[in-house]
Every structure is written in structure tokens, then in C-alpha cells.
Chain A
């Protein structure tokens, strides 16, 4: 009974937000038609939808290039972040040295270094991958480092009394304890990564959502620009969703919070 009620409530909530967003789109459509706004200023949702359908194969071929860069950069950032976090966890002195530098590095605007990377590494995929690595590396490393150092000290002490090795303490205790924080960082990195690749492409590329964006912008094809944005948003959401699914798989204990009452 209670379960059914909960599902009812959930559907009700979903319905409400659905109605809200639909009326928002409807309002947009009405404004465009009533005031007869020029397409290059603000295209109506239907026009964007039509553009999206018509240019879908083209958009997807650009998206493929962008997402390849995103994935390579994302995985590289995870690998590098893992190594650095492990090293900093092992050698606290090094951590005190590197950590502040890491934070300062975040104040460098990507827009400023993207052209520089292009000059150094050309128009190919490499400078874009580097930008993605740069934007993802920070959230991954910080979340993992914080996670590792948040491990309950008494738990580590307990393992020491069992004569656990440093290795066992890391893999059996610190790493699992760091997972929730790590995945929270991955989520942020996922959203940054697509944005990073797009921005890097603005500077110059053969193919990709970013360069396509600058092209349609130059010819004032605003509906195509909007279609492009929709694709970027949807891809980013799917990416985050994927991370959430993986994190659920990796942390099964987070799923069942139900308490079993003691019997007898």
C-alpha cells in the first residue's frame, strides 16, 4: 500500500514538472508567432525541432568527433588524477606542496589557453583532448584526494591492529571510502568535459560541435545554433546519467537504506 502511494506521488511530481516545462515551451512558441520575431533573433521551438530533424545526421557526425575527444580526455584525466591522488595520499609532504598549486591552476581561464594550445599542437585532436584533460583533472583529483583523506582514522587503526599492510589499508579501506566523493567529482568533470571540448573547438578545428557552432553563427543560422545547443545539452545529460549508473553499480550499499528492525 505504502509503496503504491509513493509511486503515485512520484508520478504526480513528474507530471507537474512536465506540465511546467511544456507550458514554458508553449509560451516561447506563442511569443515568437505573435510578435513575428525574425528567425535569426529568436527561432521558435518548432523551428528548432525541424532544424534538428533535418540536420540530425550532420549534427551527429560533429558530435561523434567532439565526444571522441571528450572520452579520451576524460579517461586520461581519471588516470592522471588517480595516480596523483595516490601519490599525494602516500606522501603527505608532497601533497602540501602540490595541492595549493592545483587550486591556483583553476583560475587560469580555458579560453585563454585554448589558442595557445592550438599554436603549439595544431588543429588536430590533441589540443582539444588537452583542454578536456585540464578541465576534468581538477575535479577528479580533488574529489579523490578529499575522499581518501576523509577515511575514518579509527578504521585505519583497527586495520593496523589486524596487521594490515599499507597496500591493504589503501585498497580495502581508503579507496572504497573515497568512492562517493570520487563519483561526485566525476559528475562535475563530465559536465565540464563536453563544454571544454566545445570551447577548444571554437578556436579552430576540422570537425566537431564547437566548430559547427562558429560556422552557423557566422551565417546567422540561429535555428541551427539552437539545434546545436540542444545536442550539447542532451549529450551532457546522457553522460552524467551514465556516470550515475556506473556509480550505482560500484556502490551497491548506497542503494538500500532500508533498516531491518531487530526481531526478538
Chain B
């Protein structure tokens, strides 16, 4: 069996609102991310996807259940997980290069990246020539790629990506998906990928967790058996359409009730 990078067992999370009410956000979540796997988490807005990532990184603590990172309990280990939030969160006062280098600056013990290697990465991420530009001069797609490159700079074999392409238009988005697959295959990281786009989830993933309801629960787990490397052609195959129908079905079965 492959190594378990991240594992959640019976995770429950409640948020305490200002008016004293308790908001049950996650209930009895079980999920796992194996080594070098690309797994998507799909679900409607507000079902607790971002909360899951905050628990995995240790930014928030669960109210029940246990999280394991590389086999150790989250609350007992300092294991670093690279995390890209929904917003690009580039520092406006830093150039793109300095933004990307931030993780290396913070962790002095991380493997240094040579200027030549950095140059290659900028090429690979389509940011060449913009090293000295400030984020506010870049387009949305480029900012997103810069944030993604910064995420790759974090010295960790696990990556959590929270709707990295959510704010992009259709064409840019599908380009970025194709390109993310390339980059991921070259770097061999274990990835949890949040999206609420069904096509995106199927195209990218080895496995898909479907979430729904309130409190948020896992309502389905779907392995995607397409060969890699993948091209957008697979989107017209019957298998693809049946995956799509299955996910859509699950999502409509468990809507969020206010």
C-alpha cells in the first residue's frame, strides 16, 4: 500500500458565532491523501472545504477526530504543508521574484534554489521577464501563477490548493489546468485540490471527494481511471460523461440547506 501523506479520521469542526450560536461546519470527515496523488475536493460554496485545509495545516484545531500528517498526529508534529489560499495574497510591496522567494527567506534551512534553477522555474511558470514587476502590474492569471510558484517554493512534499483558478475566465482556466498537470507531473508532489468545477476535478484528479450538506460531509468518493498524461480530448469520452453525471447527481442529492 502507498504511503499515507495526510489522513483525517472522524473529523468534526464547529465554529462559535459572535451571537453565541454554534455553527456545525464539518461532521465525521474521513479522507486520505496518498503519496504523489492528486485528489480533488468538490462541493458547493460554504460546505467547509476551506475549513478542511485550515485543519490540515494546523491553523485551526478540530473539535473531534484526529488528523495525521506523514503518519504523525497533527497536534504533535510540526510537519510543514504548503498551502495556497483562495486569494493570491501576493505582498504588494514585494516584486514577483521576492514574493516567490518568501518561503525560502522564512525557512533558512530549506534547500537553497540557485538563480539558474529559479530562472527555469520562472520560465516554466510563464513568469519570465516579470521578476522585478510588482504584483499590481500583473494580470489575474499571472498573479495566480506567481502565487502557485510561491507555493511550490515551500519545502514540503504536500500541497493544498484552494480554488487556485476560481477567479479566472474559461480559456485562461483550461490553459492553467493543463499547465498545472505538467508542473505537477514534473515535481511529484501530493496534492489536495479544492474546486467547485466538476470538469476541472475530473480532468485533474486521481480521486475525487464529493462534499455536501450542512454540516459538511463526504457524500461520495470517486476514483478517476484515466491514463496520464491527459489531454482535453478525454472530455468527450463516455467514461468522462458518466463521471460527470455521477458527481452532479451527488451534488444535487446533498444540497446546502440554510
Interface, chain A (partner B; CB < 8 A): 152, 154-155, 157-164, 168, 172-173, 176-177, 179, 251-253, 256-262
Closest 10 CB pairs of A and B: A262-B139, A253-B134, A176-B93, A161-B83, A164-B106, A162-B106, A161-B57, A162-B103, A155-B89, A253-B93
Among listed B10-18, B63-71, B74-82, B186-194, interface-contacting one: B74-82
Interface string of B91-105 (1 = CB under 8 A from A): 111100000001101
Interface string of B219-241 (1 = CB under 8 A from A): 00000000000000000000000
Which applies to chain B's interface (DSSP): helix, strand, loop or mixed?
A: loop
A158-B83, A162-B154 are contacts. A179–B89 as well, Cβ < 8 Å?
no
Query: Please, which residue of chain A has its CB at the minimum distance from the CB of B139?
Result: A262
Q: Does any Cβ of A come within 8 Å of B166's Cβ?
A: no
- The answer for the CA separation of A242 and B92 in the assembled complex, in Å, is 24
Q: Does any Cβ of A come within 8 Å of B141's Cβ?
A: yes
Check A260–B138 contact: CB distance below 8 A: yes
Check A259–B106 contact: CB distance below 8 A: no
Q: Does any Cβ of A come within 8 Å of B23's Cβ?
A: no
From B80, B92, B93, give the contact of A162 (CB < 8 A).
Answer: B80
Q: Which residues of chain B are within 8 angstroms of A179 by Cβ–Cβ distance?
A: 93
From A154, A164, A168, A260, give the contact of B89 (CB < 8 A).
Answer: A154
A-B contact count (CB 8 A): 75
- The answer for the CA separation of A160 and B89 in the assembled complex, in Å, is 13
Q: Does any Cβ of A come within 8 Å of B125's Cβ?
A: no
A158-B89, A161-B81 are contacts. A256–B106 as well, Cβ < 8 Å?
no
Q: Which residues of chain A are within 8 angstroms of B133 by Cβ–Cβ distance?
A: 260
Q: Which residues of chain A are within 8 angstroms of B248 by Cβ–Cβ distance?
A: none
Name the interface residues of B110-136: CB closer than 8 Å to any CB of A.
Answer: 130, 133-136
Interface, chain B (partner A; CB < 8 A): 54, 57-59, 78, 80-83, 85, 87, 89, 91-94, 102-103, 105-107, 130, 133-139, 141-142, 154, 172
- The answer for the CA separation of A159 and B92 in the assembled complex, in Å, is 15
- The answer for the CA separation of A155 and B80 in the assembled complex, in Å, is 16
- The answer for the CA separation of A252 and B103 in the assembled complex, in Å, is 22
Query: Please, which residue of chain A has its CB at the minimum distance from the CB of B92?
Result: A253
Q: Which residues of chain A are within 8 angstroms of B105 by Cβ–Cβ distance?
A: 172
Check A262–B141 contact: CB distance below 8 A: yes
In whole Å, how far is A173's beta carbon from the nearest beta carbon of chain B?
7
Q: Which residues of chain B are within 8 angstroms of A157 by Cβ–Cβ distance?
A: 54, 59, 85
Check A257–B103 contact: CB distance below 8 A: no
Check A154–B93 contact: CB distance below 8 A: no
From B78, B82, B139, give the contact of A260 (CB < 8 A).
Answer: B139
Query: Please, which residue of chain B has its CB at the minimum distance from the CB of A175?
Result: B93
- The answer for the CA separation of A252 and B136 in the assembled complex, in Å, is 12
Check A163–B106 contact: CB distance below 8 A: yes
In whole Å, how far is B158's beta carbon from the nearest beta carbon of chain A?
11
In whole Å, how far is B131's beta carbon from the nearest beta carbon of chain A?
13
Q: Which residues of chain A are within 8 angstroms of B94 by Cβ–Cβ distance?
A: 176, 253
In whole Å, how far is B116's beta carbon from the nearest beta carbon of chain A?
24
Query: Please, which residue of chain B has its CB at the minimum distance from the CB of A256?
Result: B137
Query: Which of A177, A253, A256 has the largest number of chain B CB atoms within 10 A?
Result: A253
Check A163–B138 contact: CB distance below 8 A: no
A154-B89, A158-B85, A256-B137 are contacts. A262–B106 as well, Cβ < 8 Å?
no
Would you list 6 pairs from A and B whose C-beta atoms are within 8 A, ordered by A residue? A157-B54, A159-B106, A160-B59, A161-B59, A162-B107, A253-B136
Q: Which residues of chain A are within 8 angstroms of B81 by Cβ–Cβ distance?
A: 161
Q: Which residues of chain B are within 8 angstroms of A258 by Cβ–Cβ distance?
A: 137
What 18 new A-B contacts, CB under 8 Å, besides A157-B85, A176-B91, A253-B134?
A: A154-B89, A155-B91, A157-B59, A160-B59, A161-B80, A162-B103, A162-B154, A163-B80, A172-B106, A176-B94, A177-B91, A179-B93, A253-B94, A253-B135, A253-B136, A260-B137, A260-B139, A262-B139
- The answer for the CA separation of A251 and B58 in the assembled complex, in Å, is 33
From A155, A158, A261, give the contact of B139 (CB < 8 A).
Answer: A261
In whole Å, how far is B235's beta carbon from the nearest beta carbon of chain A?
23
In whole Å, how far is A91's beta carbon from the nearest beta carbon of chain B?
22
Q: Which residues of chain B are within 8 angstroms of A160 by Cβ–Cβ distance?
A: 59
- The answer for the CA separation of A161 and B102 in the assembled complex, in Å, is 12
Q: Which residues of chain B are within 8 angstroms of A159 by Cβ–Cβ distance?
A: 102, 106
Check B93–A251 contact: CB distance below 8 A: yes
- The answer for the CA separation of A260 and B139 in the assembled complex, in Å, is 6
Query: Which of A154, A158, A259 has the largest number of chain B CB atoms within 10 A?
Result: A158
In whole Å, how far is A257's beta carbon from the nearest beta carbon of chain B?
6
Query: Please, which residue of chain A has its CB at the minimum distance from the CB of B98?
Result: A172
